[in-house]
């Protein structure tokens, strides 16, 4: 599965495409988007497939799309790819995989630590019943939005431990391996009618922004909630968002034909 966004460098883009007409520029952007959403970041070198996915007629395809393909894309081994986009795809995919691995490792370590603390404090007394296992808090039908994408297994969520008296909170940068509180993510998903992919999209955006700007917060869970709500209010995610409508249209296409 590819990430729902890709890096955009306006100066580089304009330097290479300023000679294109508005129609050619639109065709070039649509080709890049289709390529990013297709496994391997490449498209079949098949005119019929391209006409269907680009949603153009034969005349427009030959007059506009083929000119753009011949100028900016490489045709090799029955596939079409853009060298710059492929490099960005490789870089982003590797970085995302490293973050997922770090998050999984950190989650498992914290789970072992808090489980040991919980067991040490769960001492039965004559007036206290034996502690019973807590039921799964995840409602039926709500999937976790923070699963390691390439492993098929759920990230471990640390059990709640008995905490010492709270210390004064200080601002800090976002830590490697940190993920939003599962219950907060589920409330946002139910309240705003979001998909797990949209929650992961907001999480990735917030982390990239925090690392790039060196941002510090006292409560990153509160910061994540604000980020998701702003994205929903701005129409970037949610039932009425453009991306949701675009996916609905594209789902009737033939990406699965690749």
Q: What's the pLDDT score for residue 192? A: 87
pLDDT at 132: 57
Q: Which domains does the chain have, with CATH numbers?
A: 1-117 (1.10.10), 180-258 (no CATH)
Q: List pLDDT tens digits, range 230-258.
A: 888 888 888 877 777 666 555 555 434 43
pLDDT digits (tens, 9 = 90+) for 136-153: 554 554 455 664 444 444
Mean pLDDT over residues 199-216, rounded?
87
- Higher pLDDT among residues 73 and 217, named by residue: 73
φ and ψ at residue 81, rounded to 5 degrees: -140, 160
Strands (E), 47-133: 74-76, 79-81
Q: Where are the beta strands (DSSP E) in 131-256?
A: 172-173, 216-217
Task: Identify which has the larger pLDDT, 135 or 113.
Answer: 113
Of 167 and 45, the structure prediction assigns the larger pLDDT to 45
pLDDT at 174: 83
Q: How confident is the model at residue 130 (pLDDT cuts 50, 70, 90)?
A: low
pLDDT, position 196? 92
Nearest to 146 by CA among 114, 86, 189: 189
């Amino acid at each position: 599965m590819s990430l729902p966004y890709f890096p955009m460098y306006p100066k580089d883009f304009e330097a290479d495409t300023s000679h294109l007409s508005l129609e050619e520029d639109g065709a070039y952007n649509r080709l890049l988007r289709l390529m990013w959403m297709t496994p391997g970041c490449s498209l079949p070198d098949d005119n019929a497939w391209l006409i269907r996915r680009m949603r153009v007629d034969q005349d427009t395809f030959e007059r506009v799309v083929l000119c753009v393909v011949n100028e900016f894309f490489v045709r090799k081994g029955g596939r079409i790819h853009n060298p710059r986009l492929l490099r960005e795809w490789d870089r982003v995919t590797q970085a995302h995989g490293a973050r997922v691995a770090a998050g999984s490792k950190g989650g498992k370590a914290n789970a072992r630590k808090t489980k040991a603390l919980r067991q040490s404090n769960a001492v039965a007394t004559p007036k206290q019943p034996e502690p019973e296992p807590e039921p799964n808090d995840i409602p039926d039908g709500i999937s976790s939005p923070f699963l390691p994408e390439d492993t098929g297994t759920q990230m471990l969520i640390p059990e709640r431990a008995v905490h010492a008296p709270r210390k004064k909170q200080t601002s800090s940068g976002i830590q490697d391996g940190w993920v939003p509180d599962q219950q907060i993510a589920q409330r946002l998903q139910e309240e705003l009618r979001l998909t797990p992919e949209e929650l992961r999209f907001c999480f990735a955006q917030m982390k990239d922004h925090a690392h790039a700007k060196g941002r510090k917060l006292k409560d990153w869970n509160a910061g994540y909630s604000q980020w998701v709500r702003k994205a929903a209010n701005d129409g970037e995610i949610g039932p009425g968002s453009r991306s949701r409508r675009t996916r609905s249209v594209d789902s009737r296409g033939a990406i699965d034909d690749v």
